[in-house]
């Protein structure tokens, strides 16, 4: 991918070129401009490569620009908030994110208001949340115009395993849930494809707004992506808020109600009291804000362990005023108390992510929270029929099963990537070349030794027999009909023809045979003398 940009706020114009294996086309569309405006709103300093007025179509410049812009996209996609931004997803994958979700939400809300005329939409609250398919509207009741409420609409997610009937029944049960640390739902309804809930509007905002000193109505990117001032909470606030959040998590787990969506934006502040939001997310099957983190660790495979890990993220943010740079966390900065660090280590450290999370009950017993006194007289109430409890149990198991399968796929992909990276590295290629060279040399030496051994064996088999003629390698053997040359008794045989001991017979036996030679025993040969001259 190589991409330039059109920067309207600076008056500069640069070309967009998208390259892939099939095509190459010019792109200066609204997606590019909208994305850049949104990133400008986020206030981040992104490494956009410099422009070039002359020679900007040279091959070398295009290659350099390609690397710079790929790095630019890498920085965007590795930022947790930006990577979940609707505009980033639409820019990178327009085919799957082409729908106008605000318009869809307005249509669904309008259909609902046909049968409920007492509600009135004041204004849409644009981009106050991070979810792509969840929209918010400021509401009021017609006969109570001063009260402000917030309507949230969301469609179904990939973890929706409840039947339509059970899903609608459970959504309508949410207003009956009473707990001192759960934000009350005023109204809730659902159809086969989405859910709509109304709550009171809180001017103070969420716990994340308190940490980041943000205004609740501002866009999510502007509020949280690049905070101007980073400051954690006081130790007593950390202890109190943490204890209240753990208490409501334990309540939900005891009821068999799945949650899995804990983060600072889902905790509403009411004075010194934290109240949990968005219980409907698990019923809708929506993905967790921190799913990209805990899906990497195979020991975080239950919804309770997911909630505990997300609580670690929240505690880190309350303590240091910002989220961790990466997870797992190798070392923690100085904290107001070592008891805070102990809880963080049990939820975010390498050992915790590798071996598993503690339970919510175990966290409540740790020194940071065990001495916190909660002063509330409100008695929790949330009655779930037995049939719906069984449906929740099955749905919870399906959610955990899908998480385990996803973790397995990620683990296999990471192993394959590491193996490919290892075998494709320059050092590994050098090692393979050296080993291949050594193997080739060893094979050549072995072949040479084998050839020498065969040659030696062939020579030995040709010259080691007792009946073999005593000849020099450079001489041919005498013909069988020619008499052997005789040596005088007083003459010593040449060194190269001296007989050697063969099969126990010494050269003395041969000399004795020569000495006892008798001429008379030879057969008389007939000769014809043709030397006399012939006269014709």
Residue 110: per-residue pLDDT: 86
Distance of CA 358 to the CA centre of its chain: 24
Question: What is the rounded CA–CA span in Å between residue 417 and residue 425?
Answer: 12
Instruction: Count other Cβ atoms within 10 Å, centred on residue 474.
Output: 6
Quick check: 130 and 289 in contact, CB under 8 A?
yes
pLDDT digits 0-9 by tens, 49-94: 777 667 677 888 888 888 888 888 888 888 898 888 888 888 888 8
Quick check: 408 and 298 in contact, CB under 8 A?
yes
Residue 143: per-residue pLDDT: 87
Q: Which of 262, 238, 239 is nearest to 250 (CA)?
A: 262
Residue whose entry in the numeric block shows the structure tokens 């959040």 = 245
C-beta pairs of 143-146 under 8 Å, 24+ apart in sequence: 143/118
Instruction: Count other Cβ atoms within 10 Å, centred on residue 447.
Output: 10
Quick check: 196 and 190 in contact, CB under 8 A?
yes
Q: What is the architecture, at CATH level 2, of domain 8-92?
A: 2-Layer Sandwich (3.30)
DSSP 89-137: HHHH-TTTS-S-HHHHHHHHHHHHHTT-TTEEEEEEETT-SS-TTEEEE
Kindly state the helix (H) or strand (E) to which residue 145 belongs, with its residue range.
strand 144-155
Q: Calculate Rg over the CA atoms of the chain.
A: 46
Q: CATH number for the 101-413 domain, one of 1.10.357.10, 1.10.510.10, 3.40.50.300, 3.40.50.10470?
A: 1.10.510.10
Tokens of 485: 């040359």
Q: Is 380 exposed, middle or buried (0-12, 13-18, 19+ CB in 10 A)?
A: middle
Which residues are 25's β-sheet partners? 18
Residues of the chain with pLDDT under 70: 1-38, 52-53, 55, 422-423, 451, 453-509, 517, 519-520, 525, 529-536
135: which residues sit within 8 A by CB, 6+ positions away?
101, 102, 105, 124, 129, 152, 153, 154
Q: How far is CA 423 from CA 411, 414, 417, 419, 420, in A?
A: 18, 14, 10, 6, 5
Which residues are 188's β-sheet partners? 197
Q: Could you write out the three-class secondary structure of 14-78?
A: CCCEEECCCCEEECCCHHHHHHHHHHHHHCCCCCCCCCCCCCCCCHHHHHHHHHHHHHHHHHHHH
pLDDT digits 0-9 by tens, 344-370: 999 999 999 999 999 999 999 999 999
Every domain of the chain with CATH number 3.30.1520 lies at 8-92
Quick check: 65 and 16 in contact, CB under 8 A?
no
Instruction: Count other Cβ atoms within 10 Å, centred on residue 287.
Output: 16
User: Phi and psi of 156, rounded to 5°?
Assistant: -75, 150
Every domain of the chain with CATH number 1.10.510.10 lies at 101-413
The C-alpha angle 209, 212, 214, rounded to 5 degrees, equals 55
């Amino acid at each position: 991918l190589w991409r330039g940009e059109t920067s309207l706020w600076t008056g500069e114009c640069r070309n967009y070129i998208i390259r892939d294996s099939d095509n190459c086309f010019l792109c200066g569309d609204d997606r590019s401009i909208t994305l850049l405006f949104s990133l400008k709103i986020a206030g981040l300093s992104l490494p956009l490569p410099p422009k070039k007025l002359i020679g900007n179509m040279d091959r070398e410049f295009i290659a350099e620009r390609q690397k710079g812009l790929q790095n630019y996209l890498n920085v965007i996609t590795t930022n947790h908030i930006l990577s979940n931004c609707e505009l980033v997803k639409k820019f990178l994958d327009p085919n799957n994110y082409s729908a106008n979700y605000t318009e869809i939400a307005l249509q669904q809300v309008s259909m609902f208001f046909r049968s409920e005329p007492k509600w009135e939409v004041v204004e849409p609250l644009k981009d106050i949340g991070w979810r792509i398919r969840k929209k918010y509207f400021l509401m009021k009741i017609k006969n109570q115009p001063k009260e402000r409420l917030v309507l949230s609409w969301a469609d179904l997610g990939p973890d929706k395993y409840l039947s339509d009937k059970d899903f609608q029944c459970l959504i309508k049960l949410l207003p009956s849930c009473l707990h001192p640390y759960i934000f009350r739902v005023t109204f809730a309804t659902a159809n086969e494809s989405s859910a709509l809930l109304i709550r009171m509007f809180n001017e103070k905002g969420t716990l994340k707004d308190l940490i980041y000193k943000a205004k609740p109505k501002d866009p999510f990117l502007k509020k949280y992506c690049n905070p101007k001032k980073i400051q954690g909470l006081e130790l007593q606030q950390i202890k109190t808020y943490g204890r209240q959040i753990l208490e409501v998590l334990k309540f939900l787990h005891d009821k068999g109600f799945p949650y899995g969506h804990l983060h600072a934006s889902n905790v509403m502040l009411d004075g010194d009291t934290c109240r949990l939001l968005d219980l409907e997310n698990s019923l809708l099957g929506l993905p967790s804000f921190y799913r990209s983190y805990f899906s990497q660790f195979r020991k975080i495979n239950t919804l309770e362990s997911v909630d505990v890990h997300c609580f670690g993220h929240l505690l880190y943010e309350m303590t240091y005023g910002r989220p961790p740079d990466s997870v797992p966390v190798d070392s923690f900065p100085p904290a107001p108390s070592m008891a805070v660090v102990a809880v963080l280590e049990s939820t975010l450290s390498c050992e915790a992510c590798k071996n598993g999370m503690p339970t919510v009950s175990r966290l409540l017993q740790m020194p940071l929270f065990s001495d916190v006194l909660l002063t509330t007289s409100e008695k929790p109430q949330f009655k779930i029929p037995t049939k719906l409890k069984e449906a929740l149990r099955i749905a919870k198991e399906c959610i955990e099963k899908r998480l385990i399968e996803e973790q397995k796929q990620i683990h296999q992909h990471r192993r394959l990537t590491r193996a490919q990276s290892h075998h494709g590295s320059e050092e590994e290629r050098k090692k393979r070349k050296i080993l291949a060279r050594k193997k080739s040399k060893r094979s050549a030496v072995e072949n040479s030794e084998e050839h020498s051994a065969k040659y030696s064996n062939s020579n030995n088999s040709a010259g080691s027999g007792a009946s073999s003629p005593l000849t020099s390698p450079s001489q041919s053997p005498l013909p069988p009909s020619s008499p052997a040359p005789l040596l005088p008794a007083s003459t010593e045989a040449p060194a190269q023809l001296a007989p050697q001991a063969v099969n126990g017979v010494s050269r003395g036996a041969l000399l004795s045979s020569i000495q006892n030679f008798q001429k008379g025993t030879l057969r008389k040969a007939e000769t014809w003398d043709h030397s006399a001259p012939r006269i014709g």
